[in-house]
Amino acid sequence: MSKTIREAYGESLLKYGKDDPRVVVLDADVSTSTRSLVFAKGCPERFFNMGIAEANMVGAAGGMAACGKIVFVNSFAVFLSTLGLLSARAFGSYSGLNLKFMGAYGGLSDAYDGPSHHSVEDLAIMRALPHFKVFVATDEHQVDWLVKTAIDTDGPVYIRLSRDSLPEVYSKDTKFEIGKGQILREGKDLTILACGVMVGQALKAGEMLAAQGISARVVDLFTIKPIDRPLILESAEKTGLMVSAEEHSVIGGLGGAVAEVLAKAGSPAKLACVGLEDTHAETGAYPQLLKKYKLDADAIVAQALGGLQK
One-character DSSP codes across 95-123: T---EEEEEESTBTTSGGG-TTT-BSSHH
Residue 54: CB partners within 8 Å, gap ≥ 6? 28, 75, 79, 80, 83, 84
CA nearest to 301, candidates 270, 266, 274, 280: 274
3-class DSSP state of 162: coil
Counted residue by residue, the chain has a size of 310
d(C-alpha 74, C-alpha 49), whole Å = 10
Measure the CA–CA gap between 237 and 233, rounded to whole angstroms.
Answer: 6
Candidate list 54, 121, 246, 247, residue with the active-site label: 54
> What is the Cα–Cα distance from 310 to 40, expressed in whole angstroms?
54
Number of H helices, E strands in the chain: 13, 12
Do 115 and 281 meet the contact criterion of CB atoms below 8 Å apart? yes
Active site residue 277: no
DSSP state, residue 226: S
Residue 109 identity: S
Report the distance separating Cα 268 and Cα 270, nearest Å. Answer: 7
Q: By C-alpha distance, which of 203, 212, 219, 209 is closest to 168?
A: 203
Residue 169 contacts residue 31 (beta carbons within 8 Å): no
Residues serving a catalytic function are 54
